[in-house]
Amino acid sequence: MSDHLMNTYARLPVTFEKGDGATLHDTNGKSYLDAISGIAVCSLGHAHPAISDAICKQSQTLIHTSNLYQIANQQALADKLIEHSGMDKVFFSNSGAEANEAAIKIARKYAHKHNIDNPCIIVMENSFHGRTLATLSATGNPKVHEGFAPLVEGFIRVPFDDIDAVKAHSDNKNIVAILVEPVQGEGGIHVPKTGYLATLREICDANNWLLMVDEIQTGMGRTGEWFAFQHDNIKPDVLTLAKALGNGMPIGACLAQGEAANTFAPGNHGTTFGGNPLACAAGLAVINTMEVHNHVAAVAKKGQLLIEQFQQTLKGQNGVVEVRGKGYMIGIQLDRPCGDLVTMALEQGLLINVTRGDTVRLLPTFVMSTEQTVFLVNTLSELIKTFLNK
């Protein structure tokens, strides 16, 4: 391995050279079922022909022009996102962290328009919003903060899924917005109680706050709706996306509606690469493919079945705290640290992830076959039992 890479990742001892569908192949010819899909990025699988074809064709005509000019693919992709989300306007970025940076800047600009000089955003404990200085400051994991003080000010943290904790700040005149994940991903796949987002919407409306929903991981069909906020039949003021939007092509988006959509003026925000013709060609191909194959409805049905299969196979197993999730976003929490399961699964040809130290996180591709689903359930369940019975 190269010694010239910064020490920012604890990489596993495997190098992949190609992929197809839900399968990755390493440089030694071994195949793996990818049940993490590049951390919710490759939802349509690896080397999807429609995505690859769109990228190839676009790269042969125009890759980049900058946002100084009109970009046809960007306009078309924005139209599609608006159609499915019900929002009003879109800003394209390169990543999820940049999309959340845009959301935070919208909140601050909105605050100053309403004569709030020291704006604060309510964020949640156990959350994750990115690794730029502002987004890590918003993140509710102290480990992410370590070594980076002083953090960006202007965030008030409350427990996730606790409405009373939010209401306790209703008299704070500096609050301008709530930033929340509909399902906490990095924090361990925590699904809030039904109606949580709807109640947050009511609180925001009552106080003239913005409801900003971070759907970097939950968006683009991952939970069985195009966007997870749609489970609660509400609409946020700001919505952030990335990961699956390009199925591997780096692209993020910050969508807004109402007054929030008209907060920025030319010069307030920008990006060099964001939303260029190549990235937007990939995004368009992703949405078109999801529409044609009705992946969103399928994820809702197959995801619930997958959760039930794990609940059944692990029922009564000592050490299993809970199997939970929504759609193809599943967490299996154990009563002890379980990072070793990642290596054990790798040896069996299965790619998984452990988050928060004790929770197996599964984010499989939408194209996983029935046979691959059976392999995932049987292999992982046996590995968990072996691990817990040591």
Cα–Cα distance for residue pair 36/363, rounded to 1 Å: 4
Q: Which of 249, 241, 266, 222 is nearest to 103 (CA)?
A: 241
Q: Which of 325, 363, 303 is nearest to 38 (CA)?
A: 363
Please report the sign of the dihedral spanned by the C-alpha atoms of residue 149, residue 200, residue 327, residue 284.
negative
Asked if residue 252 lies in contact with residue 95, where contact means CB atoms within 8 angstroms, the answer is yes
Neighbours of 243 (CB within 10 A): 28
Asked if residue 153 lies in contact with residue 119, where contact means CB atoms within 8 angstroms, the answer is no
Q: Which of 356, 357, 354 is nearest to 346 (CA)?
A: 354
Cα–Cα distance for residue pair 365/373, rounded to 1 Å: 10
Annotated binding-site residue numbers for N(2)-acetyl-L-ornithine: 131, 271
Annotated binding-site residue numbers for pyridoxal 5'-phosphate: 96-97, 128, 214-217, 272
Annotated binding-site residue numbers: 96-97, 128, 131, 214-217, 271-272
Neighbours of 211 (CB within 10 A): 23
